[in-house]
Structure 1
Amino acid sequence: MPVPHTAIVPEAITDHALRAYLHGLPGVDEVGARARAQDLATRSIKTTAKAAAIDLAISMVDLTTLEGADTPGKVRSLCVKAALPDPADRTVPKVGAVCVYPDMVAVAVEALRGTGIGVASVATAFPAGRAPMEVKLADTRRAVADGAAEIDMVIDRGAFLSGRYLKVYEEIAAVKEACGDAHLKVILETGELVTYDNVRRASHLAMRAGADFIKTSTGKVSPAATLPVTLIMLEAVRDHHAATGRRIGVKPAGGIRTTKDAIRNLVLVNETAGPEWLTPDLFRIGASSLLNDLLMQRTRLSTGTYPGPDHYTQD
């Protein structure tokens, strides 16, 4: 059931109003959140249900390369894999999106033309977000102009942790406006938020400011996408929907490497936000190495044997 709360954001958005709203949210029962996540992680998914879960997880992957050594050739190869994950089995679904740095957006868009797969870009001075606002907005507008369908922005964690909620709110709102028709995923970098209460507050702040998705992490900070953190964010989107009627997506990213990890997240989604969120439109998994494990487990289910280690390309 949704967590009840009566705090609302008034029409006049001020630091005082945002503080009253965010600190009026119910506190997180940390022990309970960990226990709930651990309990859901033990759920067993077998045979046909597991096969369906693997295909669903593949369709939710944001296949990602975010390295300083990225080249156009590497990005093109990743796009080929995104559209046809296993050339030997064309029944494998394509992934949800390809996620790249802003300077690689045009390369990815051209490589994915005709596939129906969108390009996500980590604009706004990823991963630290330490840049003037005009730079962040220019970064966003350039990525959108080059064809990005989704923008993954990082919040100013320093501003959030020092209680400057209005600054964080206004930056998210400004980037959302710069996105135009592109969807906005707001990265909370939960490993730096210190407490579960801060994760809940940052989730609600991002949603109120205009996020289409809330995302756990950049993948550059540890811990990243832990199950308790994802649980808290799923509770937040569930409660936001109950209060506003608007569904916001969730994207855990960082540290999700195995099929078991992915399925645990799908169980968490189903049991917390509800089955309506079991779609790539509302749940994504930011990953690079995960896809190969999903493909390997899919092949084992259908043939009874594991493919060799060189069967799939290494990203």
Structure 2
Amino acid sequence: MPSSVPAYGAEAAARLASMADATASDAALRRFLHGLPGVDAVGLQARAATLGTRSIKTTAKAYAIDLAISMIDLTTLEGADTPGKVRALCAKGVHPDPTDRSVPEVAAICVYPDMVATAKDALLQGGGAEVRVASVATAFPAGRAALPVKLADTRDAVAAGADEIDMVIDRGAFLSGRYLEVFDEIRAVKEACAREGGPAAHLKVIFETGELQTYDNVRRASWLAMLAGADFIKTSTGKVAVNATPPVTLLMLEAVRDFRAATGVQVGVKPAGGIRTTKDAIKYLVMVNETLGEDWLTADWFRFGASSLLNDLLMQRQKLDTGRYSGPDYVTVD
């Protein structure tokens, strides 16, 4: 799983350089972003709905369940988080079902910066060295802080051992049309992800799509973040009323597809918030496969930001194995 800024090949670097004019000034970036094709909202929603009707069974479903488990960023982002809760979550991430060691590990444990060291130690002690630690930063979830504060937040998390940083954009600046300000902030956070003597932390950029108002804005935010160097683009914090939705996620999948076609650079996608059932997770995997193909069907390039999804995946997995549905007492309460 990547843990550093991608080393772009010569062709990709040349393509990116050719787009540098688009970010040379606020006016240039505005022209570029507003020059992107407008989103056909009806078509987008219809396409997402159609993909959501696909059904997979038996061995394909079993494969999809394990794939979804391996893509989860198992998350606790509460003011009442304690070291004990984080350690328990790490243990669950390493062995989601203690009675069945064939269940894959999750992709990452996602916590606040002050819990990064606890999570790193718990994973190391628990045999989960391959499970990443993701930390939210930049004054998550509102992002309402001065840039030096956001950068300090990021550096603290990286210094504590975070493998990945989930930052939130300044939605107020974006919605006011201050695109270059948002671009520069992402670039600055990207630089703050550097780690002396080791690989840089991976950067996920959260849009809070429920606050961006239009599909066109989601497309613009996607391109802006990718131009600024995002390793992943992420829908939501999970802290507002409207989080990940299939149409918004489909739009972001199309954006990373088009960005790779234009630049040669691959960027990951992470829907977060509101994805709670196996049925929902499989719909998203179908969407990824149909839109992007197998290149993105790994935890390197697609994640689920979730806390309760894992439990339903485990119950459905056991039902496939035994023919019986265990119910909620079969899994731990997060």
TM-score (norm 2): 0.91
Query: Could you say if the C-alpha distance between residues 288 and 297 of structure 1 is closer, same or farther in structure 2, counting changes exceeding 3 Å?
Result: same
Counterpart of 2:114 in 1: which secondary structure? helix
1:170 counterpart residue number: 184
Corresponding residue of 2:304 = 285
Letter in 1 for 2:153: D
2: CA distance, partners of 1:125 / 1:183: 18
Displacement, 1:8?
A: 4.3
**Counterpart Cα distance in 2 of 1:232 and 1:222:** 20
Q: Separation in 2 of the partners of 1:308 and 1:209?
A: 45
1:148 corresponds, among 145, 159, 162, to 162
Q: Partner of 1:14 in structure 2? A: 25
Question: Partners of 1:241 and 1:83 in 2: how far apart?
Answer: 32
For the pair 1:312 / 2:298, whether they are aligned, the reply is no
On the 8 A contact 2:73/2:110 being kept in 1, the answer is yes
Do structure 1's residue 138 and structure 2's residue 152 form an aligned pair?
Answer: yes
Instruction: Map 1:75-86 onto structure 2 (within 5 A).
Output: 75-86=86-97
- Please give the secondary structure, in 1, of the residue aligned with 2:330: coil
Asked whether 1:199 is paired with 2:218, we answer yes
CA spacing shift, 1:220–1:40, aligned 2, 3 Å: same
Using the TM superposition, give the Cα deviation of residue 309 of structure 1 relative to its aligned residue in structure 2, in angstroms: 2.3
Q: Secondary structure, in 3 states, of the residue corresponding to 2:300? A: coil
Query: 1:273: Cα distance to partner?
Result: 1.7
Q: Distance in 2 between matches of 1:44 and 1:107?
A: 40
Aligned to 1:88: 99
- Does the 8 Å CA contact 1:152/1:187 hold for their aligned counterparts? yes
Instruction: Provide the secondary structure at the position in 1 that maps to 2:37.
Output: coil
Match among 229, 232, 235 for residue 210 of structure 1:
229
Q: Given that residues 22 and 28 in structure 2 are in contact (C-alpha distance below 8 angstroms), is that contact kept between their aligned partners in structure 1? A: no
Q: TM-score, normalised by structure 1?
A: 0.97
* Cα 1:97/1:149, change in 2 over 3 Å: same
Whether 2:285 is the aligned partner of 1:271: answer no
Distance in 2 between residues matched to 1:205 and 1:11, nearest whole Å: 10
Tell me which residue corresponds to 2:12: none
**Counterpart of 1:236 in structure 2: which amino acid?**
A
| Residue in structure 2 matched with residue 237 of structure 1 by the alignment | 256
Contact 1:155–1:186 (CA<8 Å) still a contact in 2?
A: yes
Q: CA deviation at 1:222?
A: 2.1
- Spell out, residue by residue over 1:211-263, the C-alpha distance to the aligned partner (whole angstroms, 9 max, x if none): 00000000011211000000000000000000011100000000000000100
Secondary structure in structure 2 of the residue aligned to 1:111: helix
Pick the aligned partner of 2:123 from 112, 115, 133: 112
Identity %: 74
Question: Which residue of 2 is the match for residue 36 of structure 1?
Answer: 47
Note if contact 1:102-1:142 (Cα within 8 Å) is conserved in structure 2: yes
Q: After TM superposition, where is structure 1 displaced by more than 3 Å over at least 4 residues in a row?
A: none
Q: Please name the residue that 1:189 is paired with.
A: 208
Consecutive unaligned residues of structure 2, counting only runs of 5 or more, are 1-17, 195-199
Q: Counterpart amino acid of 2:320?
A: L
> CA distance change for structure 1 residues 188 and 11 in 2, over 3 Å: closer, same or farther?
closer
CA distance in 2, matches of 1:275, 1:36: 19
CA contact (8 A) 1:9 1:18 kept: no
- How far residue 310 of structure 1 moved from its aligned partner, in angstroms, is 1.5
Contact 2:23 2:180 in 1 (8 A): no
- Matches of 2:201 and 2:72, distance apart in 1: 18
**Paired residue secondary structure (1:104):** helix
1:3 matched residue in structure 2: none
- Corresponding residue SS for 1:153: strand
Asked whether the 8 Å contact 2:315–2:326 carries over to 1, the reply is: yes
After TM superposition, give the deviation of residue 67 of structure 1 in Å.
0.5
**Structure 1 stretches of 5 or more lacking a match?**
1-6
| Counterpart amino acid of residue 316 in structure 2 | Q
Q: Report the alpha carbon displacement of residue 82 of structure 1 after superposing the two structures with TM.
A: 0.1
- Give 2:154's aligned amino acid: T
